[in-house]
Structure 1
């Protein structure tokens, strides 16, 4: 599916220098959108990503390395985007960090950092994006949540709390902007094979006293009936579909893509 009208759209994707975010950026680039990538990356990596997105068809590519734990840097990122493109059409809140620990040992600074990046940052990005979408009477906000927005797992108190909060934020904002032809949805993937997930394996193994192989088999893929990782391209395609005309009435909801995890 190629959305012809995407060529004129400005798409901001947080946490898009790797993993799911980069996959989403590639998907939108294929329709000639103007892509704003964000994340921590060296100049060489940024240049490589920029060239790849342009080779896929991106109209223009802008990189902004805003630290999403700092509201002032988020505000500055949006100012840069408006100065460059004069619009914000699609916002994908994808950035996230993780830390695994029993609650009594959970470092407070880690807990608060996860809340700032995984939840609070989305408040600021949405707050910045909505006025520009309202001016055009069109917009799409896609929050990459998690199956952990719907169910919990031990030792992930901050992440689960943040993702549950993101789902509440999704529903509330969707109701506020529904009459402005702006949709707001959350995609809730199961385990996707990304650097973030692979980083959890060692932490979870330590927390549970298991081997990394046991964690993958019994903890990670054990929850997914398919016994397969969700593919990045699957998440990217769903995000892309939510920006189509056919998805105009889908708003304020969570879409599970978890291999059957939350059906149990």
Structure 2
């Protein structure tokens, strides 16, 4: 068993679940955090000796602080943070309500901000670690029908780069993975015509599998990426090729 502890938000399904299971498969202890506690517990059941499920709403700073305290008491201080929790609903920008916009920003941008703010002091005290943020290619090249989401994910990219500069002196790397269309519940909630158009636009002519995105996350969290920080990588089957 590894002595590493990884915190993964959004671990109940999709990419977050694949990341949590990937860490556990390598013998690392995992805190699987999600708003859907029952589904997070289902993730934990695949490696019950390694994965601990804990509830959190990343948009709520008080809940993130409670997660930190429970994680420390029940598992230990994480030296790996993966911000995989996210949410969106496809629609035209002019149809967006203030409440919708605030929810998108609170989950997708402020969520990682809250988690990093709460957990980084412990990581600094431990002498180093890894942060991997999940953004989206929507934040690199834009995405019609996802304008507010794209803005929030673009914020995550800029947040990643700036935080990487601040954390370098603490031997903490901060990197970002940008998935393209991926076979997750969030993707399947989109309109059928949009889903079909996206798959046709991908040069590989298929969706990414969650474990393919997780592989990039696991790389950034590994010792092999010890001298890589402030970087952004797309996992999109060639759909986007951003500079």
Do both share a fold (TM > 0.5)?
Answer: yes
Is the aligned partner of 1:260 residue 2:235? no
Structure showing greater radius of gyration is 1
Kept in 2, the 8 Å contact 1:28–1:240? The answer is yes
The answer for the alignment partner of 1:18 in structure 2 is 13
**Aligned partner of residue 53 in structure 1, secondary structure:** coil
User: 5+ unaligned residues in a row in structure 1: which ranges?
Assistant: 1-5, 203-211
- TM-score using structure 1 length: 0.87
The answer for the alignment partner of 1:38 in structure 2 is 33
The answer for the alignment partner of 1:205 in structure 2 is none
Aligned residue among 175, 180, 183 for 1:193: 183
Pairs aligned (count): 242
Deviation, 1:158, is 1.4
Aligned residue among 47, 53, 57 for 1:53: 47
- 1:154–1:140 distance in 2 versus 1, CA, 3 Å: same
**Aligned partner of residue 131 in structure 1, secondary structure:** helix
Deviation, 1:42, is 5.6
The answer for the alignment partner of 2:100 in structure 1 is 110
Higher helix fraction (1 or 2):
1
User: 5+ unaligned residues in a row in structure 2: which ranges?
Assistant: none
RMSD in angstroms over aligned alpha carbons? Answer: 1.6
Deviation, 1:47, is 4.1
- TM-score using structure 2 length: 0.94
Kept in 2, the 8 Å contact 1:16–1:94? The answer is yes
**Aligned partner of residue 189 in structure 2, secondary structure:** helix
Is the aligned partner of 1:145 residue 2:135? yes
Q: How does 1:240-259 map to 2 (within 5 A)?
A: 240-259=218-237
**Aligned partner of residue 12 in structure 2, secondary structure:** coil
Equivalent-residue separation in structure 2 for 1:87 and 1:79 (angstroms): 9
